[in-house]
Amino acid sequence: MNNNIIISSDSTTDLSPELKERYNVKTLPLGVALGDKTYHDGVDITPDDIYEHHRKTGELPKTAAANINDCIDFFKPFVDDGKTVIHFSISSEMSSTYNNCSLAAADLGNVFVIDTKNLSTGGGLLVIAAAEMAAKGMSAEDIVSEVEKLVPCVDASFVIDNLEYLYKGGRCSAVAVFGANILKLKPCIEVKNGAMGVGKKYRGKFSDVVLEYAKERIGDGSDIDLDRVFVTHAGCDMEIVQSVVNQVKALAPFKEVFLTRAGCTISSHCGANTLGVLFIRKNPV
């Protein structure tokens, strides 16, 4: 094990407390403004707080990138302790966090910042891969090189039951929301080249749609790295979530199936009743 390497990420990778402890991942929380107060994602606010505030007021939170000082304050204790940091950031297409972390890294030295070109456990998959490489004793430079090869292989997508949060957050039009409501569409949001886009549009009950979605994403599993897969959700009914977990296990012989809940930053944009199946393919997506 290379004990001189610190693996870290911002809070958008949505790793559970158990996985952070297992892989010794340090977390830089992003900001979440709710009403007249600012909180730290995963520290002093939960997704359920966001949903409850929206239910009462109709107001969505505003998320904030980590600024340069936040990044310096986060990295500096590790660097001062003689460690080398490999840090994973939400896609640079979605937030200025990556740029701010890069500026902080240039100032401090001994910090590598990786643009995951992803969000949620799409980035979490890369974090775990890096942690396992560090456990094998690989150098920081080699870990960064190998992980960057995996970035385009991450298959990240989500099915959204309701477009209200995306609409209020300025990420889709009123026409799209109206059409989806009339036709009872459940769009699949895919991450491609670091940005979100709409994939297949499903119709029907959310509980049925997510099973169809999981089956289509995994297929026969022949082109998937079967070490691990994430089922990540934002406030879904646990019976629905468990049905997807069971289906994923039946579809392909994954060594580990991780169930995790999306944190505040991700939940602020997608809303409740969002579910994704995320994994790494053997070749670029």
Percent of the chain with pLDDT strictly greater than 70: 92
Residue-by-residue DSSP string for 73-84: HHHHHHHHTT-E
Residue 109 CA to residue 76 CA, distance in Å, equals: 9
Asked which of 15-29, 148-162, 257-271 is least confident by mean pLDDT, the reply is 257-271
Report yes or no on 80 lying in a domain.
yes
For the cut 70, the answer to whether the pLDDT of residue 174 exceeds it is no
Is residue 175 over pLDDT 80? no
Percent of residues, the chain, with pLDDT higher than 90: 74
Domain span at 89? 5-151
SS3 content of the chain, % helix, strand, coil (to 5): 45, 30, 30
What is the model's pLDDT at position 107?
A: 97
Average pLDDT, the chain: 91
Instruction: State residue 183's pLDDT score.
Output: 47
Residue 219: Cβ within 10 Å count: 11
184 CB contacts (<8 Å, ≥6 apart)? 203, 204
Note whether 126 and 221 are same-domain residues. no
pLDDT bin (cut points 50, 70, 90) of residue 267 is confident
**What is the tens place of the pLDDT at every residue in 221-238?**
999 999 999 999 998 999
Number of domains in the chain: 2
Residue by residue, DSSP assigns 162-186 as: --HHHHHTTSS-HHHHHHHHHHTEE
Checking if the pLDDT of 251 tops 90, the result is yes
Q: Residue 236 domain-assigned?
A: yes
In this prediction, residue 176 carries a pLDDT of 47
- CA 175 to CA 173: how far, in whole Å? 5
In the chain the first and final C-alpha atoms are separated, in Å, by 31
What's the rounded mean pLDDT across residues 179-190? Answer: 68
Residue where a domain stops, chosen among 108, 125, 151: 151
Domain CATH number, residue 259: 3.30.1180.10
CATH of the domain at 22: 3.40.50.10170
**Pair (93, 196) in one structural domain:** no
> What pLDDT, on the 0 to 100 scale, is given for residue 276?
97
Reported as a single tens digit per residue, the pLDDT across 56-83 is 888 888 889 999 999 999 999 999 999 9
Average pLDDT for residues 162-181, to the nearest whole number? 50
- Residue where one domain finishes, among candidates 129, 151, 173: 151
Look at residue 36 and tell me whether its pLDDT is greater than 80: yes
Of 112, 131, 151, the last residue of a domain is 151
**Cα distance between residue 7 and residue 112, in whole Å:** 10
In 3D space, the residue among 38, 39, 13 whose CA is nearest the CA of residue 27 turns out to be 13
Q: Label residue 39 by pLDDT band (50, 70, 90).
A: very high
Q: What is the pLDDT of residue 163?
A: 65
Residue 179 has pLDDT above 50, yes or no: no
Residues 247, 98: Cα–Cα separation, whole Å: 35
pLDDT of the residue at 178: 38
Confidence (pLDDT) at 69: 97
